[in-house]
Amino acid sequence: MEGIKEVVFLSGKGGAGKTSILGGIYSLMNGKKAVVDCDVDAANLFLILGGQVKEEKPFYGSKKAEIRRDKCKECGLCKDICSFGAINEFLMVDPILCEGCGGCFVFCPHSAVSLEEKRAGTIYIGETKRGDLFLYAELFPGEENSGKLVQALREEARKRAKEMGFSLILMDGSPGIGCPVISSVAGVDLMVALCEPQSSSIHDLLRLLELSEHFRIKTALVINKSDVNPWLSEKLKRIAEEKGLPLLGEIPYDPLITEAQREGKTIVEYSRDSKSSKALQRVYERFSKILEELR
């Protein structure tokens, strides 16, 4: 991208502190930037950064089959060829199982099937409290296409950031390593991986790192709640060293992060003197240095 740097915060395991830490770093940064919440099926960043939504755009996902009763001759061909088991014995389509391939639509001898594009969510474009460009989306529960929605969000963010002359896009990602994560990682300049000193969090981080290595994404590590298990924190540092990942820092467990969230604030806005804010300050300094070094 012409001069626009994209950074994504990911963790593999959910609840490792992606949103809170991104929020804290955001509060420490100067200069105009765009912020995007790519966790489209559980978007939370607006709860601590949110200012105003200025624009809403509908998002259309996959198509869904519908059988027209007036034309249907009940031959059952559609049910037999459906690869997703989405058509039952009464020839009713289950929209949750239908993936919209169109097989029934193509092969119905009586043209009784229609394929309708269904609205699958909403893209919100607005500003943070501090006046930065802010984009997020809500995918309707149960929808597929979270990856497609993440792509749409990122395109919109890049377009607007370019128009407004911003050079940085900060992105909050989803847990996991599947479709929405792959869409949020593709082509970014830097991944900030968060991990807790916890067997399951480390297990999930290693799978995430396999993904970032495959996409050759530069990755830096933050250890969250590092004091909960110092021994595993040391192990994480060794992993970072072996893999050549810069360690941005360690953030201690701090109950004030939850208090800040309950007030709709980032931890830095809530208490600049908290132990986690002080640790975030150090993380932020290393983070800015790495950003500068990115070409």
Partner 1 sequence: MRIAFASGKGGTGKTTLAVNMAYLFSLSGFKVEFLDLDVEEPDGHIFLKPQIESIVSVKVFIPLFDKERCTFCQKCVQACSFHAIFMLGKDILLFQELCHSCKLCLRICEEKAIKEGEREVGVVRIGKVDSSLSFIEGRLNVREPRPMPVIEAVKSHCKGGDVQIIDAPPGTACPFVRSVYDSDFVVLVTEPTPFGLHDLEKCVSFLKSIKRPFGLVINKERGKFPPLEEYISQNQILVLGRIQEDLRIAKALSEGKILLNEFPEYRAHLEEIFSNLKRAIHGRN
Note the residues at the interface with partner 1 (CB under 8 A): 12-16, 19, 39-44, 47-48, 62-63, 81, 83-84, 96, 99-103, 106-107, 139, 141-144, 146-147, 174-182, 196-201, 203-204, 207, 210-211, 214, 225, 228-229, 232, 253, 255, 258, 261-262, 264
CB 158 to partner 1: min, Å: 21
Reduce the DSSP state of residue 184 to 3 states and report it: helix
Residue 222 is encoded by which pair of tokens? 């933050």
User: Environment class of residue 145 by beta-carbon count within 10 Å: exposed (0-12), middle (13-18) or buried (19+)?
Assistant: buried
CB 66 to partner 1: min, Å: 15
Spatial strand order in the sheet of 247-251: 50-67, 113-128, 133-139, 34-37, 168-172, 5-10, 190-195, 219-224, 247-251
CB 19 to partner 1: min, Å: 7
CB 237 to partner 1: min, Å: 15
Cβ-based nearer residue to partner 1, 100 or 249: 100
- The residue with tokens 């919209």 is 100
Side-chain-side CA neighbours of residue 6 (13 Å): 24
In the chain, count of helices (H) and strands (E)? 11, 9
Cβ-based nearer residue to partner 1, 166 or 184: 184
Cβ-based nearer residue to partner 1, 201 or 274: 201
DSSP single-letter state for residue 1 = -
CB 30 to partner 1: min, Å: 26
Cβ-based nearer residue to partner 1, 198 or 219: 198
Q: How far apart are CA 269 and CA 260, in angstroms?
A: 8
Cβ-based nearer residue to partner 1, 233 or 277: 233
CB 130 to partner 1: min, Å: 19
Cβ-based nearer residue to partner 1, 30 or 83: 83
CB 4 to partner 1: min, Å: 25
- For residue 6, which of 120, 135, 176 has the smallest C-alpha distance? 135
- List, as one string, the DSSP characters of 92-108: -B-TTT-----HHHHH-
Cβ-based nearer residue to partner 1, 24 or 180: 180
Side-chain-side CA neighbours of residue 117 (13 Å): 5
